[in-house]
Structure 1
Amino acid sequence: MSNIVQYIIVRSDLKSVLNWPLGAIIAQCCHATAAIMHLNQEDSDTIAYLKDLDNMHKVVLEIKDEDSIKALSEKLKENDINHKLWIEQPENIPTCIAVKPYPKENVHKYLKGLKLMK
């Protein structure tokens, strides 16, 4: 599986400012991850990533707020990085991004300024 990794980027203000419970935040990540994996089920990197389920590599990063996550989604779109911006309904709140599995070197440069989620 070499260096294929999946990145998940979560808004840190969901917990610190909006007081969302941890379980609700984790559910957002699960929704986005399931969606992007489904949408890319025939992609060669996704197939390779899923061949070794016990050794999947995910990196969960945090991003400041709604404006920041929307800007990141646009930057990823502009650079043809396939991802799912999860928007919680019915509130219409963008909560997280799940990027499809990619070789690390294809994606890391777009996420360099982000820190691991705490």
Structure 2
Amino acid sequence: MAVSGAAESPRLNRLVQYVVVRSDLVHKLSWPLGAVVAQGCHAAMAAIHLHYTDGDTQRYLAELDDMHKVVLGAPDEAALSALSETLTQAGVAHKLWIEQPENTPTCLALKPYPKERVQPLLCKFKLLK
């Protein structure tokens, strides 16, 4: 049993980078899917860059072939902004990506965290469709 427990323990502390994208950009505002994906990429890279020296970020990057991201959908700008405020109040490091020159918040990405640390703050958001 010790072997089984050892194999499962990394999953308990699995690092996850959450990306939350405004789903209305595609479904209501008719942005091209590729443009929306690029927004998520920008936010994810920015969050990694801003927190590059963080221990969890370094561990996440060291496990290059086992990176885990979860992409969630926020229904609109108000929900995305409210989430950013909630994360800030909870002390959760993230980057709210604001597309320029339009000055439009499009998505946000958290730095890598153990899933159990941040998932409760994101549970009202569903996987992006």
Q: Is TM-score (shorter-chain normalized) higher than 0.5?
A: yes
Is the aligned partner of 1:102 residue 2:113? yes
What per-residue deviation string (whole Å, max 9, x for no partner) do you get for residues 46-82 of structure 1? Answer: 0000111111000000010000000000000000000
TM-score by length of 2: 0.89
Amino acid at match of 1:116: L
Q: Which residue of 1 aligns with 2:58?
A: 47
Offset from partner CA, 1:28-59 (integer Å, 9 cap, x none): 01111111100011000000001111110000
Q: Which runs of 4+ in 1 moved over 3 A?
A: none
Cα distance between partner residues in 2 of 1:32 and 1:108: 18
Matched residue, 1:24: 35
Unaligned runs of 5+ residues in structure 1 are none
1:34 aligned onto 2:45: yes
Larger radius of gyration: 2
Match among 100, 125, 128 for residue 114 of structure 1: 125
Matched to 2:124, the amino acid is G
1:75 alignment partner in structure 2? 86
Q: Give the aligned partner of residue 58 of structure 1.
A: 69
Indicate the SS of the match to 2:83: helix
**5+ unaligned residues in a row in structure 2: which ranges?**
1-9
C-alpha distance in 1, partners of 2:115/2:28? 31
Distance in 2, matches of 1:60 and 1:66, equals 16
Task: Give the distance between the partners of 2:20 and 2:126, measured in 1 at CA.
Answer: 10
Greater helix proportion: 2
C-alpha RMSD of the superposition: 0.8
Query: Identity rate of aligned residues, in percent?
Result: 57
Query: Which secondary structure state, in structure 2, belongs to the residue aligned with residue 36 of structure 1?
Result: helix
Instruction: Describe how 1:80-91 pairs up with structure 2 within 5 A.
Output: 80-91=91-102
Q: Match for 1:10 among 14, 21, 43? A: 21
